Structure 1
Amino acid sequence: MTTSLHRASTHACRTLPGIILLATLTLASPSASAGGQPLPPPPAPPASTSPTAAATAGAVADPPRDSRPQRQSARTQSPARPPAATPASPDQPITDPVIAALALAPRSPQGVPLSIEECVQRALASNFNLRIQRYTTESVRENLPIAESTFSPQLTASTAYGEARNTSSSTGNSTKNNGNDTRLAVSQKISTGATASLSGSLNRNHTNPWPTSTNSRYNSIYNSDVALSISQPLLKGAGREVNLAGINRARLGNDIAELDFTGAVLAVVRDVESAYYNLLYARGLLGVREFSLKVAERLLDENKSRLEAGVGTELEVLQAEVTLANSRRDILDAEQIVSNREDTLVALFGDQPGGMEVGALTLPDAAIPEVTIDRSYKLALDNFPEYRAILLSIRQARLDVTTAASNKRPGLALGGALGYNADDDSYTDAARRTFNGDRYDWQVDLTLTFPWGMKAERAQYRQSVLALTREQTRLNQLEQNLRVQVRAAVRAVDTNRESVRIATLATKLSERQYEFEKARYDSGLTTFRRVQESQEDLDTARVNELQSRINLRLALCELSRLEASSLSRYNIAVIEPATNGNGRNGK
């Protein structure tokens, strides 16, 4: 009995390299199973597997430091069978489920191979959320020329013609007057709040018959008039800060719109990364289920052979049939998950689900960085678009408070005007004599406007102060939320990094336990139920390892969004705000 157990254990160790995930990068043919039937060969890596992917595979595996596989091109990997006595040798099959997922061939040969960088580029070009945000940003940009138009010159031109007839009740005589008036004026608002106007007019007045009582020597009188006027507010609406507030507010609004667009870009990049890694997980899960199905088929055949040989039972055959049916059901569920994840990824490209088939995927060749809460929090405060946008919103609110405070004052305006005019028998002569100094007038005026009670102005000022306080409170809230999210993301990275290490060990242990139970069952030392339980434990361990690796990547995605480091990683160029949004309380 001791010798038989020793042989069974030796056989289990000999077949260990072949009992791995169906979706693994295997460099040698699998060994024969304990029952004498060959194991189903795992699928070969697709032709699109790049040297970078192979290098990543070597980098993610966790062998001892002194025997870590060296990075090498996929074209130079040796197909020789790895020695069983050196489990950490460079030629050892890679059992990392995530790396294995990239070796899964697409379900359709027409599928488009995609790297995560290509997915990000597709999403940036056509994602619906980004397209909508672009329109919003362009619309906000138009607020600046609208605000600047306040200081654009206003040109006014008018002309009029009229007639009048008067009949004397005492004499019965009637006179008829006709004339025309042409005016041209231009006005300009100045940044101090003053308004300057320059106007000129030419008019003609003709009376028929000519009245004998008039002292004029002309029957048709032509008049030319030129006037310059200026009005400067002294209280309400006075000063450059108040009058330029609309333009400065529009510029800040442009910067806020740019930051909102940057935030949308970061969100889309995070969504693409999540969808990509979730699809990797779904395909890896499908690979686990396919391997379990082939194992279940093989065990069913073995149990039928044992029943025919008289060493098995019908109950064991029935158990194997139920296990096979459950495996087929798991395959259907896994295929549904893969299809749903593919649709999610394709939808982020702006394409219709089903309009594009996703081919082979690759895993980025990037080491997991060391992260700290303090560093990540500082990066978030410096770069997170929403935080910088609130700082600019506070500056907008301060401008509103300044404007509302000015509007609480009474309206007091100092004005002045100077005009020249002349009469003659033609338009040309009248215009030429306008500035002779014979006829002129000027005035200086002071106008006071005081709304009774000023209820509206005071209410608007209180609203502006409340809006400023609200934005400052939002800033404090966002600082708190950022700290919570950054701390959670950093902890998630650290936790999932350790989870990957533990899950990898658990998978290796479950593989050995499964082989051990299978060898004992082949030797008649245990029941088929124990083999089923060990297979279920192995499937669970593989899924857990796959999930932990995906969770680690997802945690890094969220942390990159908070730090805004995704922009540099994918070389995404965005427009930096013209105004400085990095200042506490928006100062």
Structure 2
Amino acid sequence: MTQLLRRLTASSLAALLLCSAARAQDSVPTSVPGATTEAAGPELTLEQCIARALQKNFDLEISRFAPQIAQDSIVVARGGFEPQLSVTGSTGENTAPGFESKDTDLRVGVTQRLQTGTTVSASSRLNRSSSDPAPLLNPAYAADLTLSVRQSLLNGAGLAINRAGIERAEIGFARANLEYKARVLDIIQDTENAYYNLAYAREQLAVRNFSLTLANKLLDEAKTRRDTGVATDLDVLQAEVGVANAHRSVILAEQSVKDRQDGLLALIGQFELDAALGTVRFKEVTAAAPVFASSYAMAKQNQPDYLSSQAAIEQFRIDLKLAKDAARPDLTVGAALGLSGTNGSTSDAFGDAFDRQNKAWQVDFAFNYPWGQKSDRARERQSLAALSREQSRLRQTEQTIELQVRSAVRSVETNLESVKIASLASALSQKQYELEKAKFDAGLSTSRRVLEAQDDLESARVNELQAKATLHTAIAALHRIEGSSLQRYAVELP
């Protein structure tokens, strides 16, 4: 009889546990809640956030000016080879007792500096003079036409030296675009992180709110059980403390949501901190684990910092070339051919200038050599040292990229496993909570143990959310190092 009673009691207890577990199963979600406490609204995708950030982000708005300035620097560098028009004129009068003369002079010329180091000038002069007492021609007009050429033979000679300023400005423009590209990649990564941080904060708030609901339900049950004599005042007090702690967690989670929302809004807009944000959610990671070799090759091909360092080396090579050229002696040769004529009118004066007999020519040279050349040699050594320094910096950047890729690949691999483990731990904590709650309903556990199981469940779910956020952050960091974010989000830079 006693044995039969024990069997019946055990069977009744088992049935009670199963029923309690079923009720707990209905009240406890099987996964981390996807809904948030935010008002229902259209989904806000990560792609939409990135598009808004590229249009309205303050940092990008500021960074856009650098390529514009660098592009105009090319125009400035080419300005040295534009034709220069010059016009000079004078007029004067000289009087003395019994004598008076007037003189007017006008010269017009065009000078063109070529990229070979050659300077070509063409000018024309017209002079009108009159005097009293009058000479043979009064007034007299003098006209001349002059063409001159001057060529550098040592210092400043050749296309390479004369185009150095233009080439340096073009490289500077390319580097400005690379720096802008780097800033775009940074903004994309920051937006990804802010988006997933907000998703984590909202999901965490949902977990905290659900825990508060469970704590309130446990408190109501503890009061009912106390009124029926099954529980004590201590059980009620423990449940009240559980409600208070859950309420505090909700308040902190709400603050985190607001802070993360402000962070995202600051990235994707201007003075829109009170704007509403739709539903955000974690994306499912379906891609395979990254491979170091391909990520490293992509990083060396697309990494703006690495490409900018390569371009900087070309600039320093140009600087070294200019420094070597500056140390050479300055030797120039020139030639000029002139036609001149004098007559009583402007047209006759220019007509006489084209007479074969009225011509003049000149050939000259100029040589300058700094004695000792200490300063020029010092500048050459400085340029060589700067080039060597930048080459070392490029090798350092290459090693840094390799280290960053290795670390980023490992981080993604590790966090992929962390998400799986955290998901299993969350499922286990849920089962443990269900069992402890069933025991409590059967009178075999205390509210304290249920609260402990509830805290464990809450921590497990938050840890799962944190693992997902960390995984997405690691993926965003890898994409930034690879420089592949532009292709992934179909971003075309101007």
Determine if the TM-score, normalized by the shorter chain, exceeds 0.5: yes
Shift of 1:299: 0.5
**Corresponding position: 1:154 with 2:84:** yes
State percent identity of aligned pairs. Answer: 42
TM-score (norm 1): 0.80
> Which protein, 1 or 2, shows the higher relative CO under an 8 Å CA cutoff with sep ≥ 6?
2
* Per-residue deviation, residues 244-277 of structure 1 (Å, max 9, x unmatched): 0111111111111111111111111111111000
Q: Distance in 1 between matches of 2:116 and 2:432?
A: 85
Q: Secondary structure at the match of 1:164?
A: strand
> Per-residue deviation at 1:16?
5.4
Report if the CA contact (8 A) 1:194-1:232 is conserved: yes
Q: What does 1:505-584 correspond to in 2, within 5 Å?
A: 505-575=424-494
Aligned residue type for 1:434: A
Given the alignment of the two structures, is residue 104 of structure 1 paired with residue 36 of structure 2, yes or no? yes
Please name the residue that 1:186 is paired with: 110
2:420: which partner in 1?
Answer: 501
What SS does the aligned partner of 1:222 have? Answer: strand
The alpha carbon displacement at 1:136 in A equals 1.9
Maintained 8 Å contact 1:115/1:363: no
Cα deviation digits, residues 312-338 of structure 1 (max 9, x gap): 111111111111011111110000000
Distance 1:289 1:387, change over 3 A: same
One of 477, 480, 484 as aligned partner of 2:399 = 480
String of CA shifts for 1:457-516, please: whole Å, max 9, x gaps. Answer: 233222222221222222122112211211111111100100011111101110111111
**1:38-66 Cα distance to aligned partner (Å, 9 max, x none):** xxxxxxxxxxxxxxxxxxxxxxxxxxxxx
- Partner residue of 2:172? 253
The residue type equivalent to 2:114 in the other structure is I
Cα drift, residue 143 of structure 1: 0.3
**Mapping of 1:35-114 within 5 angstroms?**
95=31, 97=32, 100-101=33-34, 103-104=35-36, 106-107=38-39, 113-114=43-44
2:19 is aligned with 1:11: yes
Of residues 330-339 and 395-404 in structure 1, the stretch that sits farther from structure 2 once superposed is 395-404
Q: For residues 353 and 218 of structure 1, what CA distance do their matches in structure 2 show?
A: 83
User: Which residues in structure 2 correspond to 1:196-275 (within 5 Å)?
Assistant: 196-210=120-134, 217-275=136-194
In the alignment, structure 1 segments of 5+ residues that lack a partner are: 22-92, 168-173, 212-216, 576-587
Q: Which residue of 1 aligns with 2:311?
A: 392
Provide the residue aligned with 1:370 in structure 2.
Answer: 289
* CA–CA separation in structure 1 for the residues paired with 2:27 and 2:428: 12
The Cα shift of 1:362 comes to: 4.0
CA distance in 2, matches of 1:314, 1:391: 75
Contact in 2 for aligned 1:183/1:201 (Cα 8 Å): yes
Paired letter, 1:209: P
**Corresponding residue number in structure 1 for 2:350:** 431
Q: Does residue 1:282 correspond to 2:212, yes or no? A: no
Q: 1:19, CA displacement in angstroms?
A: 4.5
CA RMSD for the aligned pairs?
1.7
- Give the gaps of 5 or more residues in structure 2: 1-8
Distance 1:554 1:573, change over 3 A: same
Change beyond 3 A, Cα 1:318–1:346: same
- Structure 2 equivalent of residue 460 of structure 1: 379
1:355 to 274, 277, 300: 274
Of 60, 72, 86, the match for 1:142:
72
Counterpart CA distance in 2 for 1:505 and 1:376 is 30
Task: Indicate the SS of the match to 2:64.
Answer: helix
Matches of 2:256 and 2:236 in 1, distance apart? 30
For residue 426 of structure 2, what is the amino acid of its counterpart?
T
What is the distance in 2 between the residues matched to 1:157 and 1:218? 27
Matches within 5 A, 1:274-353: 274-352=193-271
User: What is the CA–CA distance in structure 2 between the aligned matches of 1:244 and 1:113, rounded to whole Å?
Assistant: 55
> 1:414 pairs with 333, 337, 342, which one?
333
Find the aligned partners of 2:25 and 2:344 in 1 and give their Cα distance: 116
Question: Is contact 1:202-1:223 (8 Å) kept?
Answer: yes
How much does 1:230 deviate?
1.0
Distance in 1 of aligned mates of 2:295 and 2:27: 42
Quick one: distance in 2 between partners of 1:506 and 1:429? 107
Distance 2:281 2:170 in 1: 43
What amino acid sits opposite 1:205 in the alignment? S
Letter in 2 for 1:3: S
Whether the 8 Å contact between 2:352 and 2:358 is mirrored in structure 1 is no
Distance in structure 2 (CA, Å) of the matches to 1:261 and 1:466: 28
| Residue 222 of structure 1, CA deviation | 0.8
Whole-Å Cα distance in 1 between the matches of residues 249 and 37 of structure 2? 19
1:17 Cα deviation from its structure 2 partner = 3.8
**CA contact 1:116–1:363 (8 Å) conserved in 2:** no
- Is the CA contact (8 Å cut-off) linking 2:141 and 2:346 kept in structure 1? yes
**Equivalent pairs, count:** 486
Deviations 1:386-414 (A, max 9, x none): 11111111111111111111011111111
Residue 433 of structure 1: SS of its match in structure 2? Answer: helix
Which residue identity does 1:11 align to in structure 2?
A: C
Does the Cα contact within 8 Å between 1:223 and 1:430 map onto a contact in 2?
Answer: yes
By how many angstroms is 1:357 displaced? Answer: 1.4
Contact 2:58 2:270 in 1 (8 A): no
Partner Cα separation in structure 2 for residue 453 and residue 327 of structure 1: 83
Counterpart for residue 117 of structure 1: 47
Contact 1:16 1:512 in 2 (8 A): no
Letter in 2 for 1:461: E
Query: Which amino acid in structure 1 is aligned with residue 107 of structure 2?
Result: R
* Aligned match of 1:165: 95
**C-alpha distance in 2, partners of 1:20/1:187?**
88
TM-score with structure 2 length normalisation? 0.95
CA drift at 1:10: 2.1
